[in-house]
Structure 1
Amino acid sequence: MTRWTTADIPDQTGRTAVVTGSNTGLGYEITAALAAAGAHVVLAVRDLDKGRAAAERIEAASPGAEVALQRLDLTSLESIRDAAGELRTRYDGIDLLVNNAGVSMTPKSTTADGFELQFGVNHLGHFALTNLLLDRILAAPESRVVTVSSSAHRYGRIRFEDLQSERSYRRAGAYGQSKLANLLFTYELQRRLAGTDTIAVAAHPGSSSSELIRNVPAPTRLFFRLLQAQDAAMGALPVLRAATDPGVIGGEYYGPGGFLEMRGFPKVVASSDRSHDVGAQRRLWEISEHLTAVESLVG
């Protein structure tokens, strides 16, 4: 299949999906497509007003769509714990968790818990959320965890000696580290899920229109805009395929199939050698458990 589109999404009726960062950009497109296919989709967002507006747009486009809101601030472990607790109360099973929300190339700053912002939101926040919801995910048959990475993982390094960029900080370097962490997390989670019918998959959107570049310095932002070859709806396709295609195998990585993986229809793509470092995967997992004080059910 070379031109996988939203028309190829199987009927999602009866399935519950949670999508982080779902009120705009890629997250909105992912959520809208899942809802249109019949899923009950939870928009996990920091700003409930913006989330409500997004839900209304989805309902207008797909009458009868089942959408719900959940406040989630990935800069705060307290908020993540509260959100996970509320979701666990509302749902006995979660068929799909899409770890989509993220920040990119922000000025140096920290989360409420003192983590470097990009590493804290993009990796640690989703690590905590996934593991806090894991019993509900495992309870759903053929469930999936899909984490959104980036081609930027290729220049990422996991600086175990300075994970929080306290010694030195470079926006691009910190972003690359967080996106590499997304893949290390996915591959380690998949290994830990062996023997279950839950799988972990990763995806990246290529070069697509997104609010993520709003913090990029102006010259670099212009370069990104010149490279952009597709809109957010196309950028969402690799994530949607990872989330719904019955042929997906745990541990796969999806991205655009076109030039330099910047555009095109989704297919399985390769990730960097660093992302397949089993020692780094395990070490990062153990450190993430310690930093978030969230212990995994699988191991």
Structure 2
Amino acid sequence: MDTIYNLKFLTLLTRFSVCFLGCSLIYYTYRYWIRGERYTKDAESPDKVAIVTGASKGIGKEVAYGLAKRGLHVIMACYDMKSGLQTQDEIIKKTGNTNVKCMHLDLSSFKSIRSFADEFLNSGSRLDILINNANVFHMKRRLTENHIEKNIAINYFGHFLLTLLLIKRMSQTVPTRVINVTNWVHRCVEIDPTDLLNQRQFCGFMAYARSTLANVFFTLALTERIENTGITCNCIHPGISLTSVIDRQSSESTWFQPKLLAKFLSNILCKSDRACADTIIFAAIDISVQNLSGIYLSDCQIGQPGANVNNRNIAEWLWKKSEEITGETLCDLPNNFKFLKKIIKSFDELMHGRERDKTTAILQKNLNTHVESYTAVAVAAVTGEKEKQRTAHFYQVHQRSARSNMNTSKLSGVLNFARKWIQGGQFYSNVRIDGKVVIVTGCNTGIGRETVLDLAGRGAHIHMACRDYKRCEITRQEIIAKTGNHNVFNRELDLSSMDSIRKFVAKFLQEEKRLDILINNAGVMAMPKALTKDGFEMQLGVNHLGHFLLTNLLLDILKSSAPSRIIVLSSLAHKYGEINRNDLNSEKSYNKYNAYSQSKLSNILFTQELAKRLKGTGVTVNCVHPGIVKTDLGRHLVHSYIKKLIDPFTYYFFKTAKSGAQTSIRLAVDPELDKVTGQYFADCRMQKVAASARKNNNDAEWLWQASEKMTRLSSHTHPV
């Protein structure tokens, strides 16, 4: 009997084990399938700025984490600031990326959306990626302060308004991307023009589904309107994830009760938030979709929307109705394609021999890649005649965008090459200058800021000499936070005032016993006529006379600290300048461009003359052309409306402030330049100055004597 019972027990155990193993295999196979395609690539350009709405939890939180982990600057736009700040701190701790910021945004309030947009735009930050992720799923009918049903107000109208308010900024740093998060349930409904706001009858599921369909229509309508601007717009189905929905519904509906059981079932049957976030991250940063617009993505692949997106009339009606409800219209965006065709011609003339062949090969490769992408879309669209007809509108929009992007794709290689080329020489050495005392003038923004940031990272002891004490203090704190170097000091210096210069020097000499590096960085450019406090023309006064006096007052401490260095920032504009001996101070006539060029030529002549006078002292002096850099220096150069026109193209054809600082940094720290003096540098290399700075040495001596008289230098100290 015992043997029989043992056999029965073993049989039951075997059956149970087989059943358990079979169920486990089915479960893990299902989990692998439901998880979908994972995205693990790093970002091509980690310095980009992304806004993610609804990023305090759920999919939005995982998107923010995924982007921060890849080095992007992430703005978390959250309704619940307490939860958002906790998530922000958690992401910073996990990724080590401190460029994560939480800002308040209530998508149910048009006032809050406009306030968020104003705050972001006033910050001056660029915007490369806008991810309209936030969504709600309310089973009960609720109204916003604008008297709109909450599902469609938050999921659609809020993002519609936000996108229109920010898209102008996005057009300034193309290529940029708008990503609208939708859901597969958009297939289950139609847009009812007679009841868009769900006023006559309400069903929570249907209201949510209509809001997701509205996002697909929004993507298609926006795609048509932003052709040739360098901005793309795509919609995403991230997958089915109920975790955040359960949290919202547990307090207002018995449908999700009990909460723990619902969460347990969702963990078994649905995607994780991290898996859902992968398709959004793919659409945000992957290079393969950079030039694709108006497409529907799911599981990191191009998918098909529902047949109900065919109706072009509904898409146009919805756009106009949305403009009416939100009170916002799409601004005029620059058509970058016409401009870029001229660019490719000019770069074609610049490239010769192997470099030209190499660039052509890159363009051809990009072109072939996009041909394959568009072919894949076409194959997916014609899986059957009936299916082709159902999706005709969606792919017609995509193909029209594709044709436009095919033309621009062959330009993207040239533009990327142009941007790298325009950045010029870079200084990659890790040489340290621990303990060396440095003065940098005009360093609260732009090239000066980047110079201080780099030198602080090398251990220097830095005095930031700035006119605006408050702005300088903000920059100083940022630099200390980034470098961990607390030997960075904020000192007030107004180069348009001789009295301020003398006070600065007196205070410095009380505080320090040595000076190793003086960087005369501050400057003004092409400004309307104005006079300094001492009655000098502003550009001559700040760019030349101010630094002339400052340098001479510091010469004794520089000599006693030898070997030491002086770096003077000039400009390529010196080649257009001439020293006007009859009207150096522009009292008889004034042209802002001539005055600027004269001041930059003065910088070079000052450098040459000072190098002669300092020969044998161990103090070197050289001047720098930083390049054409996108900074605040050129704010007076052109009218504001022209500046707005050229702003989108400065990304490709202007240096960054960091690149502009490279030559100054090399001259300040490179041991190879210890004994190089009286030279002119650009792109980290020694260059020839213009003929006007070479042919007449009498100008340099005459300018020195004139500068001594104007600054009353001889009455305060013995000049060299």
TM-score of the alignment, normalized to the shorter chain, above 0.5: yes
Contact preservation (8 Å) 1:9, 1:245: no
**Deviation for aligned residue 1:255:** 0.8
Q: CA–CA distance in 2 between the matches of 1:245 and 1:115?
A: 36
The residue type equivalent to 1:281 in the other structure is A
Residue 88 of structure 1 is matched in structure 2 by: 509
Q: CA–CA distance in 2 between the matches of 1:27 and 1:82?
A: 21
TM-score (norm 1): 0.92
Q: CA–CA distance in 1 between the matches of 2:693 and 2:711?
A: 22
Q: CA–CA distance in 1 between the matches of 2:544 and 2:489?
A: 24
Equivalent of 1:212, from 633, 636, 644? 633
Of 4-13 and 129-138, deviating more is 4-13
Residue 284 of structure 1 is matched in structure 2 by: 703
**Deviation for aligned residue 1:271:** 0.8
1:235 aligns with 2:696: no
Residue 35 of structure 1 is matched in structure 2 by: 456
The residue type equivalent to 1:285 in the other structure is W
**Deviation for aligned residue 1:208:** 1.1
- 1:2-33 per-residue CA deviation (whole Å, 9 max, x = no partner) reads x9645315211020000000110000001111
- 1:224-283 per-residue CA deviation (whole Å, 9 max, x = no partner) reads 754633200001011111112122211121112xxxxxxxxx211111122132111111
Contact preservation (8 Å) 1:93, 1:138: no
**Deviation for aligned residue 1:89:** 1.0
1:255 aligns with 2:676: no
Q: How many residues align?
A: 288
**Deviation for aligned residue 1:65:** 4.1
The residue type equivalent to 1:231 in the other structure is T
**SS state at 1:165 partner:** coil
Q: CA–CA distance in 2 between the matches of 1:224 and 1:163?
A: 33
- 1:202-221 per-residue CA deviation (whole Å, 9 max, x = no partner) reads 11111111111001122775
Change (3 A) 1:182 1:221: farther
**SS state at 2:554 partner:** helix
**SS state at 2:528 partner:** coil
Contact preservation (8 Å) 1:135, 1:297: no
1:99 aligns with 2:520: yes
Change (3 A) 1:24 1:48: same
Of 276-285 and 98-107, deviating more is 276-285
**Deviation for aligned residue 1:288:** 0.3
Contact preservation (8 Å) 2:562, 2:617: no
- 1:48-197 to structure 2, matched below 5 A, reads 48-197=469-618
Residue 23 of structure 1 is matched in structure 2 by: 444
Contact preservation (8 Å) 2:439, 2:518: yes
Change (3 A) 1:223 1:118: farther
Contact preservation (8 Å) 1:149, 1:202: yes
Change (3 A) 1:103 1:6: same
1:273 aligns with 2:695: no
Contact preservation (8 Å) 1:119, 1:175: yes
Aligned residues with identical type, % of pairs: 37
- 1:79-135 per-residue CA deviation (whole Å, 9 max, x = no partner) reads 011001111111111000000000000101100000000000000000000001111
- 1:171-195 per-residue CA deviation (whole Å, 9 max, x = no partner) reads 1000000000000000100000011
Contact preservation (8 Å) 1:19, 1:43: yes
Change (3 A) 1:9 1:140: farther
Contact preservation (8 Å) 2:578, 2:601: yes
Of 34-43 and 209-218, deviating more is 209-218
Change (3 A) 1:115 1:9: farther
Q: CA–CA distance in 2 between the matches of 1:100 and 1:250?
A: 18
Q: Over aligned residues, Cα RMSD in angstroms?
A: 1.7
Q: CA–CA distance in 2 between the matches of 1:146 and 1:22?
A: 14
Q: CA–CA distance in 1 between the matches of 2:456 and 2:718?
A: 29
Residue 259 of structure 1 is matched in structure 2 by: none
Q: CA–CA distance in 1 between the matches of 2:612 and 2:642?
A: 37
- 1:32-67 per-residue CA deviation (whole Å, 9 max, x = no partner) reads 111100100110001111111111110111013420
Equivalent of 1:245, from 654, 670, 679? 670
Greater helix share, structure number: 2
The residue type equivalent to 2:669 in the other structure is T
Change (3 A) 1:72 1:34: same
Of 50-59 and 272-281, deviating more is 272-281
Change (3 A) 1:195 1:224: farther
Larger relative contact order (C-alpha < 8 A, sep ≥ 6)?
Answer: 1
Q: CA–CA distance in 2 between the matches of 1:19 and 1:123?
A: 15
Residue 260 of structure 1 is matched in structure 2 by: none
Q: CA–CA distance in 2 between the matches of 1:85 and 1:159?
A: 33
Change (3 A) 1:241 1:46: same
Contact preservation (8 Å) 1:6, 1:237: yes
Q: CA–CA distance in 2 between the matches of 1:251 and 1:223?
A: 39
Change (3 A) 1:49 1:163: same
Q: CA–CA distance in 2 between the matches of 1:297 and 1:216?
A: 38
The residue type equivalent to 1:253 in the other structure is Y
Gaps of 5+ in 2: 1-423
Contact preservation (8 Å) 1:43, 1:69: yes
**SS state at 2:671 partner:** coil
Contact preservation (8 Å) 2:427, 2:663: no
TM-score (norm 2): 0.39
